[in-house]
Chain A
Amino acid sequence: QVQLVQSGAELKKPGASVKVACKSSGYTFTKYYIHWVRQAPGQGLEWMGIINPNGGGTAYAQKFQGRINMTSDTSTSTVYVELKSLRSDDTAIYFCAREDQYTAYWGQGSLVTVSS
């Protein structure tokens, strides 16, 4: 069965960087793009960007341009999102989701807390 399993919670100081992992299983990793979506505490869902695991092509939301980087590792079927220059308002749960006809498969979420 399709599974997206994400890395654990992170606590970072303002100005630092964080890298969150999303490991895929149960399907051919290179066939489907992966979205990253985040959710600040008590807030809605915000699209951050998308990566093509086959070749690593990316597209990012304008809001994150310049401080976001998405990568993929086909040897481990894992995609990563790295966010730099963290601020307190980057505190959120970060989700990965597979792009397909349904966009039904999501990771469990990774909590990133930014605090001094």
Chain B
Amino acid sequence: DVVVTQTPLSLSVTPGQPASISCRSSQSLLHTDGKTYLYWYLQKPGQPPQLLIYEVSNRFSGVPDRFSGSGSGTDFTLKISRVEAEDVGIYYCMQSIKLPEITFGQGTRLEIK
């Protein structure tokens, strides 16, 4: 199984300040097709996860450009350049290199100071 580990598990950020979340996988997420199957989601209370970033660094439609993803192989980062109040929730990374199985990180809770 591919294990995905996120750090930190919680984050408290002042509005307008940056935030960063790390995701590490137990094996490379680089597929032989050249794509890297690492995704970032935000789950707000009472809602399903909403996609922010796909394939490491591609923002999904409608996602603000203050969100960015980077990394390669086994180490990945989600950055929020300037946190806003609407960014509160739990952030998950997800891998799908070993389809059909997908696995998620433990989640990182972001709160506003």
Residues of A within 8 Å of B103, CB to CB, are 47
Q: How far is the CA of A35 from the CA of B101 in the complex (A)?
A: 9
A47-B101 in contact given A101-B54, A104-B60 (Cβ < 8 Å):
yes
Number of interface residues of A (CB under 8 A): 22
Whether A106 touches B104, Cβ cut-off 8 Å, given contacts A44-B92, A45-B92, A99-B99, is no
Given known A-B contacts A101-B54, A103-B39, A103-B94, A108 and B104 have beta carbons under 8 A apart: no
Interface flag for B49 (CB, 8 Å): yes
Q: CB within 8 Å of B: which of A19-50? A: 33, 35, 37, 44-47, 49-50
Pairwise interchain contact A102-B107, C-beta atoms closer than 8 A: no
Q: Report whether over half of chain A's contact residues are helix, strand or loop; otherwise say mixed.
A: loop
List residues of chain B with CB within 8 A of the CB of A45. Answer: 49, 92, 94, 104, 107
CB distance from B105 to the nearest CB of A (A): 8
Which residue of chain A lies nearest to B49 when distances are taken between CB atoms in the complex?
A106
Interface centre among A33, A35, A107 (most CB of B within 10 A): A35
Interface status of B34 (Cβ within 8 A of chain A)? no
Of A33, A61, A102, A106, the residue contacting B54 (CB under 8 A) is A102
Residues of A that sit less than 8 Å from B by CB: 33, 35, 37, 44-47, 49-50, 59, 61, 95, 97, 99, 101-104, 106-109
B residues neighboring A (CB under 8 Å): 39, 47-51, 54-55, 60, 92, 94, 96, 99-107
Given A50-B101, A97-B48, A104-B50, 5 other A-B contacts at CB below 8 A? A44-B106, A47-B104, A50-B100, A59-B100, A95-B48
